[in-house]
Structure 1
Amino acid sequence: MIKSMTGFGVAGLENEQMMIQVEVRSLNSKFLDLSIRSPRQFSDKEHEIRNLVQSVLDRGKVNVSIEFVPKGSQNLPVTINQELFKAYFEKFKSLADLVGEKSNDLFKLALQSPNVITSIPMEREEGEDWEQTKRVLEEALKKCDGFRIDEGAALFSKLEENILVIRSAFEKVKKEEPIRKERIKQRIRNHFDQWMDENSFDANRFEQELIYYFEKLDVTEELVRLETHLDYFLKSLKEENAQGKKLGFISQEIGREINTIGSKANDAEIQKHVILMKDELEKIKEQALNVL
């Protein structure tokens, strides 16, 4: 069964030592386009995170957000430059007094001034917090993959429905084809009956020209190939491996046969069915872009 490349997964862990929150989002992409937002203390784990993501999600535009907050520490994860804060506050207060403005928000303004608060990496026991975080990441990836499976089931139903609509139109074209041929034969016969009464002609040459003409208009081979492509598309939908690119290639072949049928047939009734098939095929191409 196919999977969608659209997915979402979130997992968390909280105990007396730490709080961990991991969020994974994915959209469609030709390759794995990974964006990681994690605490500075896990900067050396980026390669391992990438490998974990690729092993589960394979490809897509993936955003991974990791939050890690240690608990029970007497040390804050920031430093506050008190002298700089005091200097900012006094400067802002003097400016407020200069123009006669109130100084209600000067504390907040001074605290948010550049370099007053600086983040610092927290001390940690080597490996312990990463192992916990890794387990939460694996859980979030699993949930994202489950989301993709559910979305894939919905995609499967839509794509199958689109193919069935094309097949229905295809069957109508097959019924119209003998009628079209007979209509062409009758039209040519009427025209040439009149022309033969008025002119002499080479019967053998005339027969050769008719055969050439009908070969150019015949769509039997295109109908056979189109039916084969439709069957192969449905078969590929049910395979377990990533099929997004394959479905895209098959869609191109389906489109090629539909266009050729429309061009060769040159018939108003058949063109109606051709237009319907083209419309459904565009929906398939759009949906197939999101198949893993």
Structure 2
Amino acid sequence: LDRGRVEVNIVLQGDTSTGVLLQVNMDLARQYHRCLEEVKSTLELGGEVTIADMLGLRDLISHQEEGLDLEKEWIVLEKALSLALDECDRMREQEGQTLKQDLRNRLQAFSRLVRTIESNVPDIVQGRTLELKARIEKLLTEVDLDPARLAQEAAFMADKADVTEEIVRLRSHIDQFETFLGSNEPVGRRLDFLLQEFLREVNTLASKISNGTVAHLGVEMKNEIEKLREQVQNIE
């Protein structure tokens, strides 16, 4: 287990004691006996000192419950623990397969959104260029400006709407995410970090393009990223 923790609670049912162990303090018994004999002799009392006279004397007999035979109990416990861990591994593997499929489905949905934006980029850049060109032509009719310099600035502004680099990086992140899903190693933390990179690229992309369609797609992409992150928290 590389992420999270496992807690094991052990409950013993039934009579867990194996009996009571009694012990007689023979040294103390001899001392008691001598004392009683001395009292009998000094006070000139009749009769004999018997066991009945000594049974109630303090600390003569001690008792304690015998503890569990840990070696014997461990045989049973080890078997139960092994079965529980095997079942835990089986359930983890089953849940992992379910999570993997869900993550793949969400990753495909995210990839479709990226393709949709990618297909719209040329039109968006062209539209941005035409928009800026119209604004420049309007300015030229009102103010005496250098047409070449304005055209250069327009091209620069239109180029800022080009999100090709962000899309390339997103595709690379998607491929890497898919590779991690096929790994037999713990990848939960890696996937979590990778999704942070997803979000960074989407934010950059959305800030570059002032377009209603792209803004809507950006919101959908962020929703998919959030759903992916929620599921990734359950992965080791």
Into which bin does the TM-score normalised by the smaller protein fall? 0.7 to 0.9
- State the Cα deviation string for residues 190-242 of structure 1 (Å, max 9, x = none): 22222223332223422332233234322111010011111111110110111
Give per-residue Cα distances to partners, 1:60-112, cap 9 Å, x unaligned. 24221112347797638xxxxxxxxxxxxxxxxxxxxxxxxxxxxxxxxxxxx
1:232-291 CA-to-partner distances (Å, cap 9, x unmatched) read 111101101111101100100001111111111111111121111111111001111111
Is residue 123 of structure 1 aligned with residue 67 of structure 2?
A: yes
**Given the alignment, which residue of 245, 253, 258 partners 2:197?**
253
With a CA cutoff of 8 Å and minimum separation of 6, indicate the structure with the bigger relative contact order: 1
Report which of the two has the higher share of strand: 1
Q: For the Cα contact (< 8 Å) 1:244–1:288, is it kept in 2?
A: yes
Unaligned runs of 5+ in 1: 1-56, 77-119
Max Rg structure: 2
| Matched position secondary structure for 2:8 | strand
Residue 112 of structure 2 corresponds to which residue in structure 1?
Answer: 168
1:192 aligns with 2:136: yes
How far is 1:126 from its partner?
Answer: 4.9
For the residue of structure 2 that corresponds to 1:284, the secondary structure is helix
Q: Distance in 1 between matches of 2:156 and 2:66?
A: 83
- Measured after TM superposition, the shift of residue 121 of structure 1 is 7.1
User: Could you say if the C-alpha distance between residues 277 and 74 of structure 1 is closer, same or farther in structure 2, counting changes exceeding 3 Å?
Assistant: closer
TM-score norm. by structure 2 comes to 0.74
User: In structure 2, how many angstroms separate the alpha carbons of the residues matched to 1:58 and 1:220?
Assistant: 38
SS of aligned partner of 1:64: coil
Distance 2:15 2:147 in 1: 99
> What residue is the counterpart of 2:29 in the other structure?
none
Match of 1:279?
Answer: 223
DSSP-derived class of the 1:62 partner:
coil
The structure that is helix-richer by fraction is 2
2:94 match = 150
CA distance in 2, matches of 1:121, 1:243: 51
User: Which structure 2 residues correspond to residues 2-21 of structure 1 after superposition, within 5 A?
Assistant: none
Task: Report the Cα offset of residue 152 of structure 1.
Answer: 0.8
Q: Separation in 1 of the partners of 2:234 and 2:182?
A: 16
Identity %: 30
**Which amino acid is 2:82 matched to?**
E
The one of 147, 152, 164 equivalent to 1:220 is 164
Q: Report how far residue 185 of structure 1 moved.
A: 1.3
Does the Cα contact within 8 Å between 1:176 and 1:269 map onto a contact in 2?
no
- Aligned residue in 1 for 2:57: none
Q: Which residue of 2 aligns with 1:29?
A: none
Residue deviations 1:19-50 (CA, integer Å, cap 9, x gap): xxxxxxxxxxxxxxxxxxxxxxxxxxxxxxxx
